[in-house]
């Protein structure tokens, strides 16, 4: 039995894993395209449609997005071709194309997302979904090197896990420059913000997991920095007797007005 993707799962499959003309060399009227239908600094909405007209001089195109076009690319032949393309001979490629095709259209076997995206694409992307990074060296140079590696991995499609337990706590003396450290949370926050800066394959943000050991002196600040629910933060402010927790919760709950783009 052949199974096709529908709705959100189908959009994700086409957006993230189908082969695309990223340089737009073959783009023409009538082509089926994946596009951003609503701009947002953090969570842009993606959609599917057809090109009705295109003006290369002004780099503008008119896209028709309708419900009837949602079942256009249900046949995953391109993916199986890519997965089988690693074989050296035509005979083996044909053999594995058939095997992959039958397995994928029945959803009996689905490779990892990065394999689906990268196999046969002729691009320098990773075939591994996730990476666990070594501990961050506790120095400006060490943090910079770690940041560079994280950015490179995410740009090629990999998710990254970082443990910042080796970073010195807030207000610890930095002897070489006669100053104090801003703390592990501030440096980890800088690394975490790369998630919103690096776009993977033109279709999604980067992905990270940031960790800190429970014995680290900055652990309370770290936990509160992770909180996103205003109710929990207000509860802490109103009920805790710990001055540190109260102060950190108030700092986290300090809302900023929405920008014009965010309000739109």
DSSP result, 78-138:
HHHHHHHTTSSSHHHHHHHHHHHHHHHHTTS----HHHHHHTTS-S---S-SEEEPPPPPS
pTM of the model: 0.61
Q: What is the pLDDT of residues 21-71, one digit of tens each?
A: 777 888 888 888 887 776 666 666 777 888 888 888 888 888 877 564 444
Q: What is the pLDDT of residues 219-261, one digit of tens each?
A: 888 888 887 777 877 888 888 888 888 888 888 777 677 777 7
Half-sphere exposure at residue 3, Cβ-oriented, CA atoms within 13 angstroms: 10
Rounded to a whole number, what is the largest CA-CA distance in the chain? 72
DSSP state of 259: P
């Amino acid at each position: 039995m052949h199974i096709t993707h529908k709705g959100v799962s189908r959009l994700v499959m086409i957006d993230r894993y189908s082969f695309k003309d990223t340089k737009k060399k073959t783009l023409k009227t009538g082509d089926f395209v994946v596009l951003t239908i609503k701009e947002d600094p953090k969570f842009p909405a993606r959609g599917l449609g057809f090109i009705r007209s295109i003006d290369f001089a002004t780099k503008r195109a008119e896209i028709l997005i309708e419900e009837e076009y949602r079942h256009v690319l249900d046949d995953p032949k391109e993916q199986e071709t890519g997965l089988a393309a690693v074989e050296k001979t035509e005979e083996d490629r044909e053999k594995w194309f058939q095997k992959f095709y039958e397995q994928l259209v029945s959803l009996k076997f689905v490779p990892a997302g990065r394999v689906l995206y990268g196999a046969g694409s002729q691009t320098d992307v990773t075939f591994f979904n996730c990476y666990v990074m070594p501990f961050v060296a506790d120095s400006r140079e060490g943090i910079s090197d770690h940041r560079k590696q994280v950015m490179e991995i995410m740009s090629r499609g990999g998710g990254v896990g970082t443990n910042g337990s080796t970073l010195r706590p807030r207000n610890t003396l930095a002897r070489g420059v006669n100053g104090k450290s801003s703390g592990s949370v501030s440096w980890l926050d800088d690394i975490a913000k790369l998630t919103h800066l690096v776009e993977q394959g033109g279709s999604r943000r980067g992905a990270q997991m940031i960790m800190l050991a429970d014995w680290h002196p900055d652990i309370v600040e770290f936990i509160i920095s992770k909180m996103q629910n205003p109710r929990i933060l207000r509860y802490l402010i109103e009920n805790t007797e710990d001055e540190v927790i109260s102060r950190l919760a108030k700092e986290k709950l300090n809302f900023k007005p929405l920008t014009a783009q965010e309000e739109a």
